[in-house]
Structure 1
Amino acid sequence: MNRQKLSGVEKQFLQRRYGVSLGRRYVLAAASVVLCSVLGCSQVSGSTNSFTQSDLPYSETQLPKKALISDTKVVDANNKFSFKLFSEIAQNNSSGDDIFISPSSVAIALAMAYNGASGSTQQAMAKTLELQGMNLPEINSAYATLKALLETPDPQVEMTIANSLWVNQTAKLQPNFLQSAQEFYKAQVESLDFNNPASANTINQWVEDSTRGKINKIVEDIPPDQVLFLINAIYFKGQWTNQFNKSQTAPHPFTLPSGEQKQHPMMSQSGEYRYYENDQFQAVSLPYGEDGKISFYIFLPKEESDLQSFYEKLNFENWEKWMSQFRNEDGFIRLPRFKTDYGVTLNDALKALGMAEAFSNQANFAAMGENLKISEVKHKTFVEVNEEGTEAAATTSIGMVPTSFRPPTEPFRMIVDRPFFSVIRDNQTGSILFMGAVTNPQ
């Protein structure tokens, strides 16, 4: 295996058992919005899933055995959906721009909408969301359990998941649907006059508050046929377990997809990390907080490879295999500071994944209201990574309208100086919170 030689300074770091501190804080926020034109809604009740003890083979440190969802099908379903969704977006990313999404935010928003689907539309959504074989009470109670688990990190990590329903005051909604949203998703339910221009501001203020100001607008002008908004917001803020030292940040070349190089600020650190390497890529996990419950994973394709080749291997089965092969290794990491904005309309991706009926006049959302279909699913994100911290935000809007309309033998050296893929993962549950690719850090 070819390796670059370590500098004298790097060797000193390793010899001193990696005493360098690594300063870094991660702040992420995601908001998902379901904009619905609804005539009625319904609810399916369910009981809370039990908890069981489970080993945590993918954790950063030897996390204590904690209670997890006894049935991990919802987590697996969300992760399978995550990779399918990212693949569809990447395939249509002809410009090669950075990609950054929160599949968990999208999945939660769609799960709330799923409660209103019936018949073949519900079956199509279940296939897209990988929920086949699970009944609605099981799905809802599993999401409630997952929310509680994700929101109990260590003192140095903050994680919140908020949901809300904003209903046009003229709409008649099924009480059962509202009760389901409140009981399982802890959704705040409010009635508004959608003819009043101030209503959009009210909704946007909730999003801004729920994402700590990282997302300030998800709703523009409210169309006359919109009568319901279902909104999800995810916020994450955490300090690195080992913080980056600002004095180690310096300009280094970063190679763009075109082969051109540019000088870019790069943060450096030596230490012991959870690390995995094979013939195609290097991967490292940078944990947050005291116990490493949540981590930032970086996957760097080898120099003779690229992100497109990596994407061909990126699926749920390989992901599970890769996660099981991370081991503690000594090494050196150099990571760029970066900031990017990203936006995409997900209609085509979701149709390609099997949800086409939900966008058509044949859509059946009878459990939500009569004659409804999804009109548009939009997703917007922001992420910034620097020495002081990392901030990220994601919003998903779903509009609904009437249908009538191997191990290293020496310390590794990982220089992230070319396009790379990254994931923010909850190691306790295995849930993927955010994922993206950086091709041109700004």
Structure 2
Amino acid sequence: MNPQKYSSMRENFMQRRYGVSLGRRYAMAAASVVLCSVLGYSQVDSNKGVLAQSGLPQPETPLQKKTLKTDTKLVESSNKFGFKLFSEVLKKDRDQKNVFISPSSVAIALAMTYNGASGTTQLAIAKTLELQGLNLSEINSSYAAALKQLLNNSDPKVQLNIANSLWANKNFSFQPDFLQRIQYFYKAKVSNLNFQDPAAPNIINNWVKDNTNGKIDRIIEIIEPSQVLFLINAIYFKGKWSQEFDKSQTAQYPFYTISGKPKQHPMMSQDGDYRYYESKQFQAVSLPYGKDGKFSFYIFLPKQNSNLKAFYQNLNVENWDKWMTQFSKQKGFIRLPRFKSEYDVTLNDALKALGMEEAFSNKANFSGMGKNFAISEVKHKTFVEVNEEGTEAAAATSVAIVATAFREEPEPFRMIVDRPFFCAIRDNQTGRVLFTGSIIDPQ
């Protein structure tokens, strides 16, 4: 076949199939190479993978590189969704325990799920994720670019891994286009699995453990008979402070819990130049990681005449964006508790409250995946440790899909940082908030 004619035919095929040009496809494939080399997993087992069995084409080797710019719409949508989700989660655990979630992990897992949704279910998920005004092609292309940019890190003091996977019950068939989009745009490991095998949960959990550096070792307890698909995201972050705390300066000081009762706790101290912001309601500081400060740990400490409850009433993406512009370099002193925390939550109620109730019901329309599917459970687990050297954090999100034809409707169900504070880990280059937390009792 004439080479020019072949190239033109392939270009037309990609336009019809994905709504992207071939040049853009090559750029996405370049992101694939970066992700696979960083995360250390193959995209599909050629003997066992779902795509291999379906005969779908594998991503091509890139012939040219193209820089993919940050999609500010996607960053804004992700952050807006993240603060709404954090607010819903706080309603349950605000005063009981520390809360620490990864909005980015949840958003990525749900974006993969969104690829299989249709009709009003798709609209409901788009509204919840704040993706109105973006079509599926734009969303997928933006996530592919975002993953590439986030993982484009040359700082030896900062490690960030983001991995996705799709685990399909081998006894069910799914739309090939859906599977290929998840693999192609999200660089997901796509696998067939015998869900009736007692070892199946461990196979999935071992993948999560490997991709969170052992910090989260279990996201699936058991696989219900009606569950046919799991879409999972894992994020691992480890950053050393640009200016590490001197361990010899760490000492016992009182930390005042939500009740106002003091408890002795190891507190780290240092002085230096910081990006700092102070309002009538709070003090805020940015503690950068690594040599270039691409990532930072932000602390917002309510003043003595205020509290976290009042702060959370004003925590939204509009105020967050405004606050981010108010930080300026200033000399100062900070005393910060050393802490480690683990958190897990089932997000069904929170996501229903944000508008996704239909996706969990028998009215769900996931015809983009196949027939008669719905979300049964969205589970989220996190880990964070802050010490003199820096911060280590991990998150995993699992979206479980069930075959509605085989399930029964479930039963209805009902800056001396010495006091509770809010914290976040943010990618300062893109503005994306990776983690948010409410620390009321450092352990």
Conservation of the 8 A alpha-carbon contact between 1:44 and 1:136: no
1:390 to partner: Cα distance:
2.9
Q: 2:288 matched to which residue of 1?
A: 287
Quick one: distance in 2 between partners of 1:93 and 1:69?
A: 37
Seq. identity, %:
65
The alignment status of 1:365 with 2:351, answered yes or no, reads no
CA contact (8 A) 1:339 1:384 kept: yes
**Cα offset for 1:219?**
1.3
Cα deviation for residue 44 of structure 1 reads: 5.0
The alpha carbon displacement at 1:429 in A equals: 0.4
Q: Is the 8 A contact 2:105 2:396 kept in 1?
A: yes
TM-score between both structures, scaled by the size of structure 2: 0.82
- Alpha carbons of 1:161 and 1:434: their partners in 2 closer, same or farther (altered >3 Å)? same
Q: Write the mapping of 1:88-167 to structure 2, written as runs, cut at 5 A.
A: 88-93=88-93, 95-153=95-153, 154-167=155-168
Check whether the contact 1:75–1:429 (CA below 8 A) recurs between aligned residues. Answer: yes
| Structure 1 segment 22-41 matched on structure 2, within 5 A | none
- TM-score normalised by the chain length of structure 1: 0.82
- CA-CA distance at 1:380 after TM superposition: 1.9
The residue that corresponds to 1:84 in the other structure is: 84
Which residue is equivalent to 1:257? Answer: 258
Name the SS for the 2:82 alignment partner: helix
User: Displacement of 1:285 after TM fit?
Assistant: 0.3
- With 277-286 and 223-232 compared, the bigger mean Cα shift is at 223-232
Offset of residue 94 of structure 1: 5.3
* SS of alignment partner, residue 87 of structure 1: helix
Q: How many residues align?
A: 377
Instruction: Indicate yes or no: 2:209 matched with 1:208.
Output: yes
Rounded to whole Å, the distance in 1 between the matches of 2:124 and 2:211 is: 31
Give the Cα separation in 2 of the matches to 1:399 and 1:44. Answer: 26
Q: Which has the higher contact order (CA 8 A, sep 6+)?
A: 1
- Give the 3-state SS of the residue equivalent to 1:236 in structure 2: strand
Which deviates more from structure 2 when the two are superposed, residues 210-219 or residues 107-116? 210-219
Q: How does 1:31-70 map to 2 (within 5 A)?
A: 46=20, 48=24, 69=69
Q: How far apart, in 2, do the equivalents of 1:71 and 1:400 lie?
A: 29
Report the alpha carbon displacement of residue 152 of structure 1 after superposing the two structures with TM: 1.4
Judged with a 3 Å threshold, the aligned counterparts in structure 2 of structure 1 residues 112 and 44 are, in CA distance, closer, same or farther, namely farther
Task: Looking at secondary structure, tell me which structure has more helix per residue.
Answer: 2
What CA distance in whole angstroms lies between the structure 2 residues aligned with 1:230 and 1:348?
19
- 1:394-426 CA-partner distances (Å, limit 9, x unpaired): 222222212343xxxxxxxx2111111000000
Q: 1 CA distance for matches of 2:401 and 2:20? A: 26
Q: What's the counterpart of residue 322 of structure 1?
A: 323
Give the letter aligned to residue 232 of structure 2: I
Shift of 1:427: 0.4
Q: How does 1:211-222 map to 2 (within 5 A)?
A: 211-222=212-223
Pairwise CA RMSD: 1.7
Q: Which residue of 1 aligns with 2:12?
A: none
Instruction: Decide whether aligned partners of structure 1 residues 403 and 168 sit closer, same or farther in structure 2, where only a CA change above 3 A counts.
Output: closer
What SS is found at the alignment partner of 1:171?
A: coil
Aligned pairs (5 A) from 1:276-315: 276-315=277-316
Q: Distance in 1 between matches of 2:162 and 2:311?
A: 31
Indicate conservation of the 8 Å contact 1:371/1:403, yes or no.
Answer: yes
Trace 1:160-179 onto structure 2 (pairs within 5 A).
Answer: 160-179=161-180
Given residue 176 of structure 1, which amino acid in structure 2 is its aligned partner?
Answer: D
Higher relative strand content: 1
Return the letter of the residue paired with 1:421: F
Unaligned runs of 5+ in 1: 1-42, 52-66, 406-413
In 1, Cα distance between the equivalents of 2:268 and 2:251?
Answer: 7
Deviations 1:154-198 (A, max 9, x none): 222111111111122222122111111111001111111111111
Deviation (angstroms), 1:70 = 5.2
Counterpart secondary structure, 2:227 = coil
**Structure 2: gaps (5+ residues):** 1-16, 29-66, 408-414
Contact map agreement 1:152 1:159 (CA 8 A) in 2: no
